[in-house]
Chain A
Amino acid sequence: MWKDYDIVVDEMEGKLRPPTIGLKPYEAKVIPLTTGEDMIVREATREELVLILDTIEPLLHHQKDFYDIVSARIYAEVLGMLRYRVQDEYCFVGAVDGELAGIVNGRMVNGKVGMSYHTMTLKRGARVGAQLFAAKMEYHFDFMNQDEVWIVAESPNGFKRWMIEYELEPRFGCPHELGGVPTFVLTRKLWEKHRANKNVGTRPAFEDVVEANKVLRAPAKLSV
């Protein structure tokens, strides 16, 4: 269990924290899922970042579908956000009826280039991962006005859903932060081509859905 506490921001701490280009807020939206439920997609609050750490800890040893490496890396990335050691990282959650359904994160390298980190689905079988991935790409292109996002995949599911479905441009010379595996790029041109099929949701988010997801809890039963 990770405990959050206040830290004194002195000169030393100032030297250890990364600079920022200024992140714009991501406006929450509601996506109706194929199961008939409503999912809210919004930025994670600090409390929810802590909730994420606790929720994914058991998955650190779940080898099926590469949940082990994805949760290990998300743990490090979210901890990095909480401890102010990653530049311009964002983290969004998908939630249904107050339960965490999925997590996506990434960061801004600079004004023009984004580095996608991870997508994790906790509520399987409703295309939650696909919707959340599209939402974070929306953030990079439509909110932060970037030109391209660098993406890698750890699992075959990821490869099929992103590299193939978005027709990502291979750019193997570019070193992605996540371990030197082959980098693929979502350019603005590809985003414009595929967004109509991929990016959905209603804004402003329905009042009742916002209300139902004000305080989040871990899924009652984690079955991935």
Chain B
Amino acid sequence: MREVGIVGIGHTKFGKSAVPFLDMCCEAALEAMDDAGAKTGRRNVINQVFVGTMGAGMVNRISGAASAVVDTLNLRPAMAETVENGPASGASAVKLGYAAITSGLCDCALVIGGEAMREVSGWEGTDFVATMLHPEGEYRYGLTLPSFAGMFTRLCMEKYGLTSRDLAIVSAKNHANACLNPNAHIQAKVKLDRITDERYIAATNPLVADPLRQYDMCPVSDGAAALLLVARDKQEELGFGNQKFIRIAGIASATDTHYVADREVPTDLLAVRLSAQAAYRMAGVGPEDIDVAELHDAFQILEIEESEEAGLFPRGTGHLAAREGRTALGGDMPINTSGGLKAKGHPLGATGVSQIVELVKQLRGEAGERQVSGAKTALAVNFGGFGNNVVSTVLQAE
């Protein structure tokens, strides 16, 4: 099968965007193109553009985002499609970019992920995100993603002995990492005792979806990220011969029940396990080969449970590994060096692409103070819905 690699990366500062949705997507796209040395107009070599976004239609009232981007960036007549897979829109866009190249439909694909959620109020944003739940069985009740995360956390606490403090440890770790990431939404040194002290935890870390607290959930962010994918056999010819080629070694997705109550084992994230295993198989590696990982931590409980389902730690011990500092920057299995969704931010459609941007930096050796030394193989897990559609990607340095 044709080899596909990443030769250009772009990323806006996540947070409150000063520019509209399309401008933000283009900013990230141009950064990726400039990084690779790709041109627009007559010298354009990109023949496919994918834009991953969940809310452009519903929240920003823009349909056909990819068609708009291709035009304004002067990349016509490149093929263009907008991809929607909830919060996994970004990684799904990458997967489709990969598939478009390996199938021979194109040689060079620009993949962008973007979201401008802060255009609407917090209450409307919560409602919009809840639309991915089961319409008859869940959405009608006012159930939200945090509601399911809260119920899931309670089950994990009862089954594995995981505590609220463990979640705070992961959160503090992610915030510390984000202080080293200029593109992160939140850059604040969070003191662990401040968010766990009983005396004023109601002010510093209030309950949002019992037992989940404020610091266990990611913020609402605007942002965009982009990647330039190229076929190995065309890398030189298309003008990217001088770029490091970070190979997409494995990429796969899997689905689980839409109605969360119908999950076979309520504490399992089956779609994470299946997609990660398929990605490992494709890449010819195992979890023990992963040097650094970006795991979708919209709720801190997910970082812990995904790390187990992806095989990085034995089931039921992820929180122990976090307690021991193994997942921090200096640890033996660094997770979310970018700051994760918690502190880097979570513009839904951008996240899947943003995770891969961070991993590419790690594998290129360009992650600065966040660099994991000698990183050669990396894993990204992008979680859609409440775990009913998950995309896993394995990247390898040359």
Interfacial residues, chain A to chain B (CB-CB below 8 A): 31-36, 131, 160, 196-197, 200-202
Give residues of chain B (153-197) contacting chain A, Cβ–Cβ below 8 Å: 188-191, 194
B202–A35 contact, CB under 8 A? no
A202–B200 alpha-carbon span in the complex (Å): 8
Q: Apart from A200-B202, A201-B203, what 6 extra A-B contacts exist at CB < 8 Å?
A: A32-B203, A33-B203, A36-B194, A200-B200, A200-B203, A202-B200
- Compute how far the CA of A196 lies from the CA of B204 in the bound complex, rounded to whole angstroms: 14
Does the CB pair A202–B199 fall under 8 Å?
yes
A32 partner, pick from B123, B188, B189, B204, beta carbons under 8 A: B204
- Other-chain residue from B199, B202, B214 in contact with A197 (beta carbon distance below 8 A): B202
A residues within 8 A CB of B47? Answer: none
A-B contact pairs, 18 of them (CB 8 A): A31-B203, A32-B194, A34-B204, A34-B205, A34-B206, A34-B214, A36-B188, A36-B190, A36-B191, A36-B194, A131-B203, A160-B123, A196-B202, A197-B206, A200-B202, A201-B200, A201-B203, A202-B199
Whole-angstrom distance between the Cβ of A56 and the nearest chain B Cβ: 23
**Is A33 in contact with B199, judged by CB distance below 8 angstroms?**
no
**Chain A neighbourhood of B215, CB < 8 A:** 34
Q: Please report B residues at the A interface, Cβ cutoff 8 Å.
A: 123, 188-191, 194, 199-200, 202-206, 214-215
Q: Which residues of A contact B194 (CB under 8 A)?
A: 32, 36
> Of all chain B residues, which has the CB nearest A30?
B200
Q: How far is the CA of A206 from the CA of B281 in the complex (A)?
A: 57
Closest Cβ of chain B to A28, distance in Å, is 15
Cα of A58 to Cα of B326 in the assembled complex, Å: 51
Residue of B nearest to A131 (CB): B203
Q: Which residues of B have CB within 8 Å of A197?
A: 202, 206
Do B189 and A36 touch (CB < 8 A)?
yes
* Interfacial chain B residues near A200, Cβ < 8 Å: 200, 202-203
Given the complex of chains A and B, what is the CA–CA distance between A32 and B205 in angstroms? Answer: 9
Chain A residues near B202: list those with CB within 8 A: 196-197, 200
- In angstroms, Cα B121 to Cα A160, docked, is 12
Look across to chain A and name the residue whose beta carbon is closest to the beta carbon of B175.
Answer: A36
The CA-CA distance from A31 to B202 in the complex, in Å, is: 10
Say how far A145's CB is from chain B's closest CB, in angstroms.
Answer: 24
What is the CB-to-nearest-CB distance from B162 to chain A, in angstroms, rounded to a whole number?
Answer: 23
Q: Which residues of A contact B205 (CB under 8 A)?
A: 34
Q: Are A32 and B200 in contact (CB under 8 A)?
A: yes
Q: Which 7 A-B pairs have the closest CB atoms?
A: A200-B203, A32-B204, A36-B188, A200-B202, A31-B203, A200-B200, A32-B200
Q: How far is the CA of A160 from the CA of B124 in the complex (A)?
A: 13
Considering the chains assembled together, what is the distance between the CA atoms of A131 and B203 in angstroms? 8
**A201 contact set on B, CB distance < 8 A:** 200, 203
Chain A residues in 8 Å Cβ range of B191: 36
List, in ascending order, chain A residues with CB within 8 A of B123's CB.
160
List A contacts of B188 (CB < 8 A).
Answer: 35-36
Chain B residue at minimal CB-CB distance from A34:
B214
Q: In this complex, which of B188, B194, B203, B204 has the most chain A Cβ atoms within 10 angstroms of its Cβ?
A: B203
Query: How far does the alpha carbon of A36 sit from the alpha carbon of B189 in the complex, in Å?
Result: 7
A33 CB to nearest B CB, Å: 7
Please give the distance in Å from B374's CB to the nearest CB on chain A. 33
Chain B residues with Cβ below 8 Å from A202 are 199-200
Which residues of the other chain, B, contact A196 by a CB distance below 8 angstroms? 202
Q: How far, in whole Å, are A34 and B205 apart by their CA atoms in the complex?
A: 6
Closest residue to A65 on the B side, CB-wise?
Answer: B121
Expressed in whole angstroms, the minimum distance between the Cβ of A127 and any Cβ of chain B is: 8
A200 to B199, CA, bound (A): 8
* B202: nearest chain-A partner, CB-CB: A200
CA distance A46 to B190 in the complex (A): 35
CB pair A33–B204 under 8 Å, yes or no, is yes
For A200, give the chain B residue with the smallest CB separation. B203
Across the two chains, which residue of chain A brings its CB closest to B188? Answer: A36
Minimum Cβ distance to chain A for residue B15 (Å)? 10
Residues of A within 8 A of B203 (CB): 31-34, 131, 200-201
CA distance A131 to B206 in the complex (A): 12
Bound Cα distance A36, B194 (Å): 8
| A197 CA / B207 CA spacing, docked (Å) | 9
Give the docked Cα–Cα distance between A2 and B214 (Å): 41
Q: How far is the CA of A197 from the CA of B190 in the complex (A)?
A: 22
A41–B192 Cα distance when bound, in Å, is 23
The CB with the most chain B CB atoms within 10 A, among A31, A32, A35, A196, is that of A32
- Measured between alpha carbons, how far is A99 from B199 in the docked complex, in Å? 25
Cα distance A36–B215 in the bound complex, in angstroms: 11
Shortest distance in angstroms between A27's beta carbon and chain B's nearest beta carbon? Answer: 16
Distance from B373 Cβ to chain A, minimum over Cβ atoms (Å): 30
Shortest Cβ distance from residue B165 to the other chain A in the assembled complex, whole angstroms = 17
B214: A residues at CB distance < 8 A: 34
Question: Of the candidates A31, A35, A36, which one forms a contact with B200 in the assembled complex, judged by CB atoms under 8 Å apart?
Answer: A31
Question: Which residues of chain B are near A33, meaning CB under 8 Å?
Answer: 203-204
Q: Which B residues are in CB contact (< 8 Å) with A160?
A: 123
In angstroms, Cα B215 to Cα A34, docked, is 8
Q: Complex Cα distance A36/B199, Å?
A: 15
Closest to A37 in B: B188
List B contacts of A32 (CB < 8 A). 194, 200, 203-204
| Interfacial chain B residues near A36, Cβ < 8 Å | 188-191, 194, 204
